[in-house]
A and B are shown apart, each in its own frame.
Chain A
């Protein structure tokens, strides 16, 4: 190795000293998330009727390579339906520790009910806090379980550490 190569290397370093840094000061500063990023799941509703899109068919659970999804279905009350049709998911759980965010569930879903969103700040303290139910994933719920607990404790809004552009399949999800 000659001295010339060392000088070249130092030159690269020197040139970067005068460029604008790419580092994001997360969490003080919000990260800009790419549209293709896949984070925690959202369970969507039909925007016109407000009914859940999920029909409890369990195909997501069948497609899941990590066995992270558990679904139990029940029959809709015709007078006060939860979803369109006869069947809805009475229990819909995803274990976020098991989930590998591959998106197979989204691909398997016949109604477009489960969509992987952008939220990635899922850290928590207890095993069962990682099991997300319907109440944690239905559209309109913002943030991870811990973020929502913190917001409630502080009496404020859930603060997400990122920004993301719109995605057509994330209908009704607002970051």
Chain B
């Protein structure tokens, strides 16, 4: 479709909005209310332009021609038009630079500023404010408004994490539309009318796990991140564009630091992964990195106490103490959010020591690499049949949002030269959702279930059997056969429902099956899920428990033999242990075992129960301070870049290997990020140093996933406590005060009837041994939990799955009523 923007002729696809055509032509119009990935509504009236188009004669159906030139005559619209809600037409002419248009835009800036306070010097948005920029570019430079401006609440806490300044709001409706359109949680709306309109919520706070994004999209300083309130001005921040190591979705982040502190995290743009959204756990869960008690120098135990020393001294101590030790009795364990470079370093260290006892934790019992057709997040967003097993909202928030994209049924728009479409006219306010394409199966009611056409809550103990039965039924009907054998409705799904699911998945062309730790932690369930996906012809997306679990498996940071896995490190076979960012001593039995070790080296950023037992403690960096590479849930290699955070001499695991190599008198591979990348280039045929911020998909492994498949019985088919995934990382909650204030303590969720039977009330704080690990949790009543089941959030040391809760040994620390009193 040919159109003309200020004498620039261009060819655009039908359906494009005029605003995108103007930007594609290299011209500019100001706008506030339009936002990439959200419906255009023309609320701010800022993107005005003069638009004209040729007209056809009704009688002849020919273009009406200009008598003088013989060209089709342009009929101008009588008034300037909002370009964001206008669609291009054949032969359209757009004018954004004439005097009339400038006058209209100038008048709109003036009108918007009538009620906007001029408190830019104290506003956290100042310097990065769309209104400020547009006022400079399109405003007249001086105010004719001499009256008193509208006065409203200046700092209204919408939640513990978000502060609303009602005077600054310009009623663009981005935040209101965001909640309805993106996470589908309608928690904000306009209240009152005209100049009195304000943003508000009837509920207590903002009950959604994706609230922080509204602080990014607010074009003015009305919605602000409370964790960074007044911490710095926008031009003072050092920006680091990196990838989240918080969960396996691989969301793009922008970390803003100042004087060695992380002040805030904003979402980065990655059209293929997170678009411009991130979850609240990722956005607000950064305060721990600046906690007071960080370990900043190596420590060595002398006469029973840990004393600070130098890296060289600590490394020498380690080298001396493991000299002559049988290599096979030395264990090395990394946490699953270590970068690939750290994985290479750990492998090099294990090879040098002659140890096959190398593992990552938490690592599911089954592989997290897909062995058939792997789904990308774009496949999820464009899918027409989704089967989800588990709770993606808590495990990888971005997957949850991409599932909600699929429900809208709008294919992602191709990128323009200026980025994603500013106004995608196919998106509408309050669009109908195709709920019927989504089936969810989880052992408790998950947040995503309110958007699902079919939600099944089978008993936790029969999840594995249900998947098996489904896989069997799907395999039996591959060629139109009839299922043999009886179906047990007690599994949590009726035969009709199962058949409907199988038919729907099979008849779809873009079916995707998503499963997570509930499945991966049980090899039998994993096998069933893979069989089911294959027999209905669905692509698969497997959510790993940690950011880089899949990547570390891909480069085989795995034990050389199943009996050398993570669990074996806490048997008497092991004499020396290197633990990176793990805290297994939360289990008292493991702690006893750690005390018997000849050497325990802990690489940690904070003091933990395990570092208290260590012989050598080495300072570690957090995921925000690493340079490296990670592999996300869809098999995309993404760069992790270090933000400048003050952490003394802390390094990542490559730094540990460098120092140890020097003490051993050798140069180990992976002694630096650069050296590890040389190894990665050989392993993956990718130059990790050259990765763009948006990453690069890694071709999937052909055939069966490689690597040892340790069959570990983390998840058993019985038990009354279910460890569930958590968006908020529980191990960091103590050091994340704002997030803790909003999301509460780690919760022990149970059905009100279950609580009543045990004499507990919501709000009590209890210590409950779950699977041998005493967990301090706050009791929370939840109707969504089946009776008799206890739900607690996962720790890196306690992967998702069923455990025994020792209810007899439960201790009530504080009761809710006493606290109120």
Contact = CB atoms under 8 A, between A and B. Distances in A.
A168 B610 CA distance: 64
Interface string B221-263: 0000000011111011000000000000000000000000000
A55 B126 CA distance: 14
Nearest to A62: B235
Contact of A57 (B154, B229, B231, B233): B233
Interface string A77-100: 000000001110000000000000
Interface in B166-202: none
Contacts of B304: none
Contacts of B236: 58, 61-62
A59 interface: yes
A132 to B, nearest CB: 18
Interface residues of B, number: 13
Contacts of A72: 231-232
A57 B235 contact: no
A59 B126 CA distance: 10
A86 B122 contact: yes
Given A55-B121, A85-B119, A62 B154 contact: no
B121 A75 contact: no
A86 B155 contact: yes
A90 to B, nearest CB: 9
Contact of A74 (B126, B154, B155, B230): B230
A127 B816 CA distance: 54
Task: Summarize B's interface: helix, strand, loop or mixed.
Answer: loop
Contacts of A62: 233, 235-236
Given A86-B154, A86-B155, A87-B122, A56 B235 contact: no
Given A62-B235, A86-B154, A56 B119 contact: no
B122 A57 contact: yes
B121 A110 contact: yes
A87 B120 CA distance: 12
A86 B121 CA distance: 11
Contact of A73 (B119, B155, B230, B235): B230
Contact of B232 (A55, A58, A75, A110): A58
Interface string B122-166: 100010000000000000000000000000001100000000000
A85 B121 CA distance: 11
Nearest to B226: A75
B235 A87 contact: no
Nearest to A70: B259
A111 B119 CA distance: 11
Nearest to B233: A58
A26 to B, nearest CB: 40
B724 to A, nearest CB: 36
Contacts of B229: 75
A110 B233 CA distance: 15
Contact of B230 (A59, A75, A110, A111): A75
Contacts of B232: 58, 72-73
Contacts of A110: 121
A109 to B, nearest CB: 9
Interface string A145-161: 00000000000000000
B156 to A, nearest CB: 12
Interface in A30-78: 55-59, 61-62, 72-75
A72 to B, nearest CB: 8
A21 B155 CA distance: 63
B155 A59 contact: no
A139 B233 CA distance: 25
Interface string A130-144: 000000000000000
19 contacts: A55-B122, A56-B122, A56-B230, A57-B122, A57-B233, A58-B232, A61-B236, A62-B233, A62-B235, A72-B231, A72-B232, A73-B230, A73-B231, A75-B230, A86-B154, A86-B155, A86-B230, A87-B230, A111-B121
6 closest A-B pairs by beta carbon, nearest first, are: A57-B121, A73-B230, A87-B122, A58-B233, A110-B121, A55-B122
Interface of B: 119, 121-122, 126, 154-155, 229-233, 235-236
